[in-house]
A and B are shown apart, each in its own frame.
Chain A
């Protein structure tokens, strides 16, 4: 009973929040309703006995990703409403048709094989979710875990280099000659200091 009530409550809340995100023309409303929707989604993870993922969802999405978006929005001018002009209505029809076709294909493809139903790493009832996930993650999925760590490091370095520490000068924005001139200037400044 409790589960049913919670499921329907949170599904209506999540769908409502996400439809605000998709439909609104105000960037701040979109951002805050997206954050709210992410928190409501973590409720489903708790309902599904995935405690660890629920906590990770709250920490990563509302803690890290929303903060990043908020920082990103500071660089853009969002005080005015966003104007979205769709000047090619035929494109929308083509994309919608393709999407409908894709969904039909997805439904008509038969379920592939019985082996996928058996399960690779069964849930141990006696362990508890976090211990269970840790066991599988650090034994069976250790290499993907390490690769994900490297990917996050690369993304961090990429983000820093792209956004740039000095906001007025960015190497990725300058032409090759300008970079040469700029680096010569820097070298001369360094010489003067010596």
Chain B
């Protein structure tokens, strides 16, 4: 296996997540799509780390996982708050500013 295959896979998964971000209106589903994108980047990082014989990629993937974990904690807290206030987690319900 060469680096290209892994990078192509990473690109495909990233675009899947991007499609999800673009088409989802439900906030929880939007979160799922962002998780997919973060994971796609992780695959790319680790693949580059392996094929260049350098550990930096793995360390960055490690930090990305930490960021993803804290993002979920804060994001779900905000989501619960939104649900208590608006009784829905639809993205359109937050559009309170007219522009």
Instruction: Give the interface of A toward B (CB within 8 A).
Output: 3-4, 7, 11, 14-15, 18-19, 21-22, 27, 30-31, 34, 37-38, 41, 44-45, 47-50, 52-53, 56-57, 60-61, 64-65, 68-69, 71-73, 75-76, 82, 84-86, 92, 95-96, 99, 117, 119-123, 132-133, 136-137, 141, 144, 148, 151-152, 154-156, 158-164, 170, 172-173
Contacts and interface: CB of A to CB of B under 8 A. Distances in A.
Given A18-B17, A170-B84, A72 B76 contact: yes
B77 A162 contact: yes
Contact of A7 (B5, B25, B32): B5
Contact of B80 (A19, A158, A163): A163
Given A120-B55, A170-B84, A173-B85, 20 more contacts: A14-B13, A21-B20, A22-B32, A30-B29, A30-B32, A31-B32, A34-B32, A38-B39, A50-B46, A53-B65, A56-B62, A57-B42, A65-B72, A72-B79, A84-B26, A119-B52, A119-B54, A159-B76, A163-B76, A173-B84
B3 to A, nearest CB: 10
A159 B77 contact: yes
B36 A18 contact: yes
The 3 nearest A-B residue pairs measured at CB: A162-B77, A155-B70, A119-B54
A50 B20 CA distance: 28
Contact of A158 (B59, B63, B74): B74
A154 B46 CA distance: 27
A135 to B, nearest CB: 9
B56 A133 contact: no
Interface string B7-22: 0010011001111101
Interface string B23-54: 11110110111011001001100110110111
B1 interface: yes
Interface of B: 1, 5-6, 9, 12-13, 16-20, 22-26, 28-29, 31-33, 35-36, 39, 42-43, 46-47, 49-50, 52-56, 58-59, 61-63, 65-74, 76-81, 83-85, 89, 92
B70 A48 contact: no
